[in-house]
Amino acid sequence: MAFVDSWDNEEARIFVNGAQIGIGTFRWSGGEPELTFTPSPGITASAALTSTVQAGSWSSPSRGTDYSYRVSVAVEDPGETLTLGFGTTLDQPQSDESLLIGNVEVRADH
């Protein structure tokens, strides 16, 4: 997960089977995003900071920092299907603030 550009106390959300299990709040001028997990029983989740990049902007070469995290979610018994979802409360165009999700890996351990 990457928090990019001018977030202003907006949230990124992670869902498993429709239930919110994690939230990240970020303000471009306020340091690292605050990530909080409240998974249901049988679900574990964690995040580790993987990179920080000084970000430029429309008016200056440096305006805040973008942050990337490796997020891990483990579901003990997902049943027949598993739905993984993401959402945000972002309220500006992608050119100004974005949440990036990449390198998603789903693995079934029997």
Q: Looking at residue 27, what is its pLDDT?
A: 87
Chain center to CA of 15: 11
65-110 residue pLDDT tens: 889 999 999 999 888 899 999 999 999 888 888 999 998 988 887 6
Question: What residues contact residue 6 under an 8 Å CB cut-off, 6+ apart?
Answer: 28, 57, 63, 64, 92, 96, 97
Rounded Cα–Cα distance for residues 31 and 28 (Å): 7
9-67 residue pLDDT tens: 999 999 999 999 999 999 887 788 999 999 999 999 999 999 988 766 556 555 678 89
